[in-house]
Every structure is written in structure tokens, then in C-alpha cells.
Amino acid sequence: MGTTKRRSWKTTDDIPDLVGTVAVVTGANSGLGFVTARELARKGATVVMACRNAERGEAARTRVAASLPPNLSDVAVLPLDLADLASVRDFADAVGERFDGLDILVNNAGVMALPLRRTADGFEMQMGTNHLGHFALSALLAPLLLTRPGARVVTVASDAHYLGRPDPADLRFRHGRYRKWRAYGASKSANLMFAAELARRARQSGVDLVSVAAHPGYVDTNLQSAGPRMSGNTRAERAMALANRLIAASPDTGALPQLYAATAPDVENGAFYGPRFSMFGPIAHAPRAPWVRDVVKNRMLWTASEEATGIRWAPPLGG
């Protein structure tokens, strides 16, 4: 990708016409997911807003639809709880019943720095939601993605991936002392490792599928306050709220890297995009920790994720 082209992509006005495309955005009822769904819809995409809370999802859909002209109001909400593989399967089935293809999948939803919690399937909540839920969802939607040449899978990661690395032999976090920030870092590393391995498999098999990752920098969303709130740490919750007000970017700004990854014509398969100066700046290639660039480790995580979820990717991306 040429640097000049990347610098020229600055605002949502640079998103190309998306009429005739279908997009799924997870965690679309608020924050980055809401902005992403709204902007894709504004450019003409048919958008499925995947939301855990049906009431909040419908309220968000109403807000998106109200911002669109009548001929561009094709926005739907479907329930999706990434912390429950049964819900992931139901969601994928529902999308398959409605559409014969999928052009854009934005794996945006996530949780951050939670005290130890378990998903419905017994995974540690951060790894289960941020990585394993999206890994399973992407696998189940892959047949729809492969019907559309150039389809994209965008996985939202974080600079915080440097805080931890996943152990393929212990994705349930059964061993050792639990540290919530290390677990969050491990889940974000897993996001990057998945995105890279999917890109490698697409290239190797000759499949016209683009897998990229993106991160928003530091953005003012409800993600930062969820962990302190669940821990009952009101001081930390207030500190996070203050930091958000003082230094965080808006969701509109934070969503630009993932919108770029989802729509720009010059995106590189397997790349990782974010603000040039980590928390702010124009969109650029973001640095990655050594372990997320390790092809062997990426393959190991892929295999372990298939075994953990019981969901295996079909050929040509699987196997």
C-alpha cells in the first residue's frame, strides 16, 4: 500500500459507494460499533447490527435509520452474545437465512480488564468474547464471505496486545494466577494472530478474501468503565471517566481505522492499521509484538481455537 494513498484517506467521506454490499458489525449498539454500522449504512450497505442486548440494539438501529435517507435505511438488528457459542450459531444461521452472501464482517465487540468471569461455555470471559466468539462467528459466516470476491474480515485489536500472549494449551485460563490486564492483552494478541493466520490461509489457498486488523487508539467508550464497575471499584471507574473526558478521542474518530480497513481499496491483506502515534494521528500501519508475527504460534492458536469451540473451518480455509 502506498503511503500517499493511505494519507489521503482521512474522513468517512472517503468511504466508497457500498450499495449492493452486505455488512455485519458486532457490538453495534454503542461506541465504535455504532459508528461503524452507521457509516457503512450511510454509504449504502445493507447492515446487520449484531447486539447482545435486543432493546439497546433496536434503539441504536432507530438512531442509525433516522440519519439515513429512506432509500438507504436497510439496517437490521439480530441478537448475538459472543460469550455463548449457541448464540453465535443461531446468529450465523439467521444471517444465512436472510442473505446469500456477505461482503464485510467487522469483529468489533469486546470486553476489557474484567475480573475473572466465565462464558456460557466455560471460557475466561475476555478470551471467550474477544477471540473465541469472533473466531467461531467468522468460521460459521465463511461460506457467505466466500461467495463475494474481495470480502473482508476486519478484527478490532488493541495496542494493549503487548500486555499478554495467549497460551494455546490454556485458553480457559485454568492454570496460574489470573491477572485481568494480562488476560485482556492475551485476547487482543489472539485477535491479531487470528487475523494474520486467516490472511495467510487465504493467500495460500488462492481465496479472494481479505483479513485485516485495526485498532482505534484511546477512545471514549463504555469499554473502559465496565471492568471497574464489575469489580465495585468506584475510584477506578471515576478515574477512567475522567481520562476519557480529558484525553480520549471520540468514537467517530476512533472508528476511522476499522472503517478504512473495511472499505479502502488499497488495504493490504494481513495488515494492522491504527493511529500513527498509537493514540492519535492519521491512519498508518500499527506495530505488532513479535509473538503475533510468529506463523507457527498463529497456526497453533488456530488449531487450539477450533478444538476449544468445536467449530472447524471448512476447506479451503480450514484443514
Residues involved in catalysis:
184
Contacts of 233 (CB under 8 A, 6+ apart): none
Contact assessment for residue 128 and residue 119, using Cβ atoms and an 8 Å cutoff: yes
Closest CA to 191 of 295, 309, 107, 315: 107
CA distance 269 to 119: 31
What is the bridge-based pairing of β-strands 283-285 and 22-26? Answer: unpaired
Query: What is the spatial distance between Cα 193 and Cα 131, in angstroms, rounded to a whole number?
Result: 10
- Residue 181 has φ and ψ, to the nearest 5°, of -75, -35
Distance in angstroms (rounded) separating the CA atoms of residues 278 and 303: 31
**Sole residue written with cell 457490538:** 27
Burial 42-74 (b: 16+ CB within 10 A, else e): bbbbbbbbbbbeeeebeebbeebbeebeeebee
Nearest to 27 by CA among 115, 109, 121: 109
Taken as a whole, the chain contains a residue count of: 319
Distance CA 206, CA 195 (A): 16
Q: Are strands 209-214 and 151-156 parallel, antiparallel or unpaired?
A: parallel
